[in-house]
């Protein structure tokens, strides 16, 4: 088999049992792999109404046919589960080396179920799978856990294998079931949104260590080599990709701020004065960058390892990326780059999602400033821009101490407790990411209809022509959502392969690598099927039209450029264009077209 390995590993932590199964061929045919295969398995095996932090929930680490082949920017993995933050489907993606290593170990997917009675980590090397004690690791921060694990295994492997091995961990936040805890891997990379770190924590699973000595086969090796060489040239000629290579996402905060689309002060504004210094992205690069850090097989190396001179923050970390800079920076009124670095460092090490953490803390800051949240509840003042309070609150949240215990429950819980639910800028319980939807209206529709909640990775940043024309919003939103679903199932990097420019590329990589004659039509059908199955999962979990909404601030109060997002107008059109009824439920005709009659029964 080319591309796929054809096997998946199932680990039951309750029974301490592992089994290897064949990856079903209809799963590959209908859902490709990655995110698609993950949601199909989850849908078939769990009741969508279960408690996401109970032992019934499953955690699926998924790769796809392009992972580990060396397709440029094809080194990612997806984690699929039910989110404790939103109660909806969760499918965060993450770069680094873990995805390829899982493939080299021989598996397309790793399904983790049950709950271990005591802290464990999972060791996988080809067909050797061991559940090992993690007592000594419990409570340790993310990078420290990784370091200790490598030290523990240093006797067993040669230098290169030990270095090449991928380690996935959770920090204290995941252990303490913070609802926006993330899964960390390869020294600071995060499968961030949706809080799946807490799902790992609920299973007492501290980490995974994966090494594999196997191979991944490619159908047309000569064609593949030529296509990669051509791609290098195309990449050099592409201005957007050249910016990514030099600055990663650091070119974005300045630009977003300049155009008034930067989330600022809990989305009260689209502009934050101290961020004007980032209009020259070399300022960030020169201040904190250590080196460009590629994911497996990516020539663009857009992620940047960074460091500041502060003994309280030793070592290096990854980022902060644009989204983290916006949510932890401008959205919390923090403009100093070193302070943003510190906040990002704490999130990475404690194992919390930077975007959600920023969204929740900025909500607390607004509640405090407006007098709804008394200082005695927190223990210290928390106005916008109070950096030290923010750092302290992050530590407390990860450990669920004092006021942090409430924050750990998520933004909706916080805002509701103080009587102003409208002040949490979240969708389906998940904090909105950096681009202010009032600056680019189509993003508002993308956020509101996103199956996982307020997340930027499931449609695309609208770089294309005509993005401001409202008559294209609905069509482009559906098209991009379906397209990214296939990118996430292949699994390619959505940052590099987003936008209509790259549609043909995805198709040709799949053809060359797998030897299957996919057509564009096949891919859009797979994408739409995945999107609809995720929607059905959500509907059965109780997430419906009432949750496809934006915060009132975005739809009712013109904060940016005197504009609001006309969601009421766009949403019915979107439902109709998707072939859903007025309540956002897929019609029988649509289900039949996608082959989802069985899954959609009883809606």
Partner 1 sequence: MRIKIDHLKCTGCKLCEVVCSLQHTEAVNLWRSRIRVFITEDYCLPVIGGPYTEAMCNSKDVVFVEGKEIDGCVVCRASCPAKSIFKEPDTAIPLKCDFCGDPPDPQCVAWCDADALTICD
Part in contact with partner 1 (CB under 8 A); list of ranges 210-218, 267-275, 352-360, 591-599:
210-218
Distances (CA, A) of 359 to 312, 364, 452, 454: 25, 9, 16, 11
Selected from 43, 98, 104, 271, the binder of partner 1 by CB under 8 A is 104
69 binds partner 1 (CB under 8 A): yes
Nearer to partner 1 by Cβ, of 227 and 440: the residue is 227
Binding mask 288-327 for partner 1 (x = CB under 8 A): --xxxxxxxxxx-x---x---------xx-----------
194 binds partner 1 (CB under 8 A): no
148 binds partner 1 (CB under 8 A): no
Contact 271, 262 (CB under 8 A): yes
Nearer to partner 1 by Cβ, of 69 and 249: the residue is 69
- Taking the complex as a whole, the smallest distance from the CB of residue 318 to partner 1 amounts, in Å, to 10
CA distance 490 to 486: 6
The alpha carbon torsion through 117, 120, 124, 128 (nearest 10 deg) reads -60
- Taking the complex as a whole, the smallest distance from the CB of residue 5 to partner 1 amounts, in Å, to 12
Part in contact with partner 1 (CB under 8 A); list of ranges 207-215, 328-336, 382-390, 493-501:
207-215
Distances (CA, A) of 265 to 270, 362, 375, 420: 9, 7, 19, 16
Nearer to partner 1 by Cβ, of 217 and 277: the residue is 217
DSSP 61-80: EE--TTTTTT-TT---EEEE
Nearest residue to 590 via CA among 515, 517, 535: 535
Phi, psi torsion values for 254, nearest 5 degrees: -65, -45
287 binds partner 1 (CB under 8 A): no
228 binds partner 1 (CB under 8 A): yes
Nearer to partner 1 by Cβ, of 164 and 593: the residue is 164
CA distance 394 to 356: 11
Residue 472: partners with Cβ closer than 8 Å, 6 or more residues away:
442, 466
Contact 109, 91 (CB under 8 A): no
Cis peptide, bond prior to residue 164, ω within 30 of zero: no
The count of C-alpha atoms lying within 13 angstroms of the C-alpha of 152, restricted to the half-sphere facing its C-beta, is: 16
Part in contact with partner 1 (CB under 8 A); list of ranges 220-228, 260-268, 535-543, 556-564:
220-228
70 binds partner 1 (CB under 8 A): yes
- Taking the complex as a whole, the smallest distance from the CB of residue 248 to partner 1 amounts, in Å, to 12
Selected from 138, 224, 372, 518, the binder of partner 1 by CB under 8 A is 224
CB atoms near residue 222 (< 10 Å): 9
Part in contact with partner 1 (CB under 8 A); list of ranges 6-14, 66-74, 557-565, 577-585:
66-74
Part in contact with partner 1 (CB under 8 A); list of ranges 67-75, 383-391, 433-441, 557-565:
67-75
Nearer to partner 1 by Cβ, of 393 and 493: the residue is 493
Sign of the torsion formed by the C-alpha atoms of 376, 377, 380 and 385: negative
Distances (CA, A) of 114 to 39, 130, 531, 589: 18, 16, 27, 37
Nearest residue to 537 via CA among 45, 55, 114, 63: 45
Token pair of 56 as six digits: 């019934």
Nearer to partner 1 by Cβ, of 56 and 161: the residue is 161
- Taking the complex as a whole, the smallest distance from the CB of residue 147 to partner 1 amounts, in Å, to 11
Residue 204: partners with Cβ closer than 8 Å, 6 or more residues away:
13, 115, 116, 117, 118, 119, 120, 134
Contact 177, 196 (CB under 8 A): no
Nearer to partner 1 by Cβ, of 159 and 568: the residue is 159
- Taking the complex as a whole, the smallest distance from the CB of residue 220 to partner 1 amounts, in Å, to 11
Nearer to partner 1 by Cβ, of 72 and 551: the residue is 72
Part in contact with partner 1 (CB under 8 A); list of ranges 190-198, 218-226, 397-405, 514-522:
218-226
33 binds partner 1 (CB under 8 A): no
Nearer to partner 1 by Cβ, of 169 and 389: the residue is 169
Token pair of 512 as six digits: 């060359």
215 binds partner 1 (CB under 8 A): yes
- Taking the complex as a whole, the smallest distance from the CB of residue 68 to partner 1 amounts, in Å, to 6
- The residue count for binding partner 1 (CB under 8 A) is 40
Contact 545, 572 (CB under 8 A): no
Selected from 15, 229, 286, 521, the binder of partner 1 by CB under 8 A is 229
- Taking the complex as a whole, the smallest distance from the CB of residue 217 to partner 1 amounts, in Å, to 5
CB atoms near residue 542 (< 10 Å): 12
CA distance 45 to 294: 35
Nearer to partner 1 by Cβ, of 12 and 161: the residue is 161
- Taking the complex as a whole, the smallest distance from the CB of residue 456 to partner 1 amounts, in Å, to 24
232 binds partner 1 (CB under 8 A): yes
187 binds partner 1 (CB under 8 A): yes
Contact 123, 110 (CB under 8 A): no
Contact 345, 311 (CB under 8 A): no
Selected from 64, 68, 192, 197, the binder of partner 1 by CB under 8 A is 68
136 binds partner 1 (CB under 8 A): no
Binding mask 156-175 for partner 1 (x = CB under 8 A): --xxxx-xx-----------
**List of residues contacting partner 1 (CB under 8 A):** 68-70, 72, 97, 104, 158-161, 163-164, 187, 213-218, 221, 224-225, 228-229, 232, 235, 290-299, 301, 305, 315-316
């Amino acid at each position: 088999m080319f591309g796929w390995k054809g096997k998946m590993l199932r680990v039951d932590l309750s029974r301490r049992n592992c089994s290897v199964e064949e990856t079903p061929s209809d799963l590959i045919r209908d859902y490709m792999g990655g995110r698609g295969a993950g949601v199909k398995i989850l849908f078939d095996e769990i009741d969508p109404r279960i408690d996401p932090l109970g032992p019934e929930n499953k955690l699926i680490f998924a790769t796809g046919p392009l992972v580990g082949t060396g397709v440029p920017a094809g080194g990612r993995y997806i984690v699929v589960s039910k989110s404790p933050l939103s109660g909806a489907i969760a499918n965060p993606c993450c770069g680094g080396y873990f995805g390829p290593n899982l493939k080299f170990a021989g598996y397309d997917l790793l399904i983790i179920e049950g709950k271990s009675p005591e802290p464990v980590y999972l060791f996988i090397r080809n067909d050797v799978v061991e559940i090992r004690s993690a007592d000594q690791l419990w409570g340790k921060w993310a990078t420290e856990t990784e370091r200790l694990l490598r030290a523990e295994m240093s006797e067993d492997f040669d230098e290169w294998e030990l270095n090449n091995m991928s380690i996935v961990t959770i920090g204290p936040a995941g252990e303490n079931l913070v609802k926006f805890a993330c899964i960390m891997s390869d020294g600071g990379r995060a499968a961030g949104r949706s809080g799946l770190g807490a799902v790992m924590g609920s299973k007492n699973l501290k980490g995974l260590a994966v090494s594999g000595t196997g191979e991944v086969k490619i159908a047309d090796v000569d064609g593949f080599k030529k296509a990669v060489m051509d791609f290098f040239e195309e990449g050099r000629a592409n201005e957007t990709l050249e910016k990514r290579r030099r600055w990663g996402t650091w070119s974005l905060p300045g630009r977003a701020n300049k155009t008034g689309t930067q989330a600022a002060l809990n989305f009260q504004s689209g502009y934050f004065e101290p961020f004007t210094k980032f209009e020259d992205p070399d300022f960030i690069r020169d201040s904190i960058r250590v080196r460009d850090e590629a994911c497996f097989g990516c020539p663009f190396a857009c992620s940047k390892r960074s460091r500041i001179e502060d003994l309280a923050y030793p070592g290096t970390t990854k980022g902060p990326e644009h989204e983290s800079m916006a949510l932890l920076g401008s959205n919390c009124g923090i403009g100093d780059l070193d302070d943003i670095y510190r906040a990002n460092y704490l999130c990475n090490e404690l194992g919390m999602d930077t975007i959600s953490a920023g969204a929740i803390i900025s909500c607390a800051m607004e509640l405090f400033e407006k007098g709804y949240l008394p200082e005695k509840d927190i223990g210290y003042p928390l106005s916008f821009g109070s950096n030290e309070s923010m750092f302290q609150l992050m530590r407390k949240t990860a450990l669920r101490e004092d006021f942090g215990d409430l924050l750990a429950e998520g933004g909706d819980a916080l805002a509701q407790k103080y009587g102003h639910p409208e002040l949490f800028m979240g969708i389906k319980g998940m904090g909105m990411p950096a681009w202010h939807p009032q600056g680019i209206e189509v993003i508002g529709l993308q956020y509101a209809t996103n199956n996982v909640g307020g997340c930027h990775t499931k449609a695309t940043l609208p770089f294309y022509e005509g993005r401001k024309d409202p008559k294209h919003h609905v069509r482009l939103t559906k098209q991009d959502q379906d397209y990214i679903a296939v990118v996430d199932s292949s699994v390619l990097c959505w940052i590099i392969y987003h936008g209509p420019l790259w549609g043909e590329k995805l198709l040709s990589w799949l053809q060359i690598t797998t030897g299957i004659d996919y057509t564009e039509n096949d891919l859009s059908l797979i994408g739409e099927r995945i999107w609809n199955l995720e929607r059905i999962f959500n509907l059965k979990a109780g997430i419906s039209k009432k949750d496809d909404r934006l915060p009132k601030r975005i739809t009712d109060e013109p904060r940016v450029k005197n504009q609001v997002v006309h969601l009421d107008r766009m949403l019915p059109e979107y439902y109709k264009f998707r072939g859903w009824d007025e309540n956002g439920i897929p019609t029988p005709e649509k289900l039949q077209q996608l082959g989802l009659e069985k899954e959609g029964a009883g809606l």
